[in-house]
Amino acid sequence: MSRLDWVLTHGANHLLVRHDGLEDALSTYEHLGAALFVLALLALLAAGGPRLRRAAVSAAAAVGLALLAAQVIAHVVDRPRPFVAHAGAVRLFAPHTADAGFPSDHATAAFAIAGAVLVHDRRWGAVLCALATLLAAGRVGLGVHYPSDVLAGAILGAAAAALVTRRPLRRRLDALADRLTDRPAFRRAV
C-alpha cells in the first residue's frame, strides 16, 4: 500500500463520516450493487435483442474468468483491508469480513460485466461503466478497499471482458447465447 492509497482512503472515508446523507445513499447502493449488476445481466438476457443477450453471456463468462483470477491474486498478495490495517483510523460503515482486499471482487465483477456489455452495446455499456465506477469509489469511501484495490479489480475485470470478446472466443460465446436463447423453454420463460 502506498502513501497515496492511504491518503485517498482516509479522505474519502472521513468525507462520508461528515456527510451522513451521502453515506446512507452510498451504503445502500453498495449493499445492493452486486444484486443490481446480476439483475442487469438477467434483464439483458431476458428482454434484450440478440445483441444484448450475447452481451449478457459474454459478461457472465468475463465475470467467471475475472473472479477466478482475482481469487488467485488475493491469496498470493494477501493485503489487509483499510479497516483492518488502520483499525480506529477508518470507520467501517457496515460489517465486513477481514479477508484479503486486493483486488476488489466487487470492482472486478462490475467492470467485467460493464466491459463485456460495452463491446456489444455502447449505450448500456456506458451506463454500467458509470455504475461500476460509483461502486468502486464507494468501496473506498466505506473503508472496505484502498483505491489500488478497486483499480486493480477494474483492470482485471476489463481485461477479462477484452479477452472473452475477442475472436474466436466471442464467436463461440455469441453462438452459445444464440443457442441458449433460441430454445422454446427460454422463449416461454420470457
Return the pLDDT at 184.
Answer: 53
Return the pLDDT at 158.
Answer: 98
**Domain residue limits, the chain:** 3-184
CA–CA dist 4, 160 (Å, integer) = 27
CA–CA dist 32, 85 (Å, integer) = 26
Determine how many CB atoms are found less than 10 A away from the CB of residue 78.
Answer: 11
Determine how many CB atoms are found less than 10 A away from the CB of residue 49.
Answer: 10
Q: What is the mean pLDDT of each run of 10 residues along the chain (190 residues)?
A: 86 87 87 91 87 94 97 95 86 82 96 97 96 95 93 98 92 86 54
Written as nine digits, the cell of 90 is 477508518
User: Residues 147-175, buried b or exposed e (16+ Cβ, 10 A)?
Assistant: bbbbbbbbebbbbbbebbbeeeebeebbe
Residue positions counted in the chain:
190
In 3D space, the residue among 68, 78, 74, 84 whose CA is nearest the CA of residue 157 turns out to be 68
Return the pLDDT at 88.
Answer: 84
CATH 1.20.144.10 fits 3-184, yes or no: yes
Return the pLDDT at 166.
Answer: 93
Q: Please confirm whether the linkage preceding 103 is cis (ω < 30° from 0).
A: yes
Return the pLDDT at 113.
Answer: 97
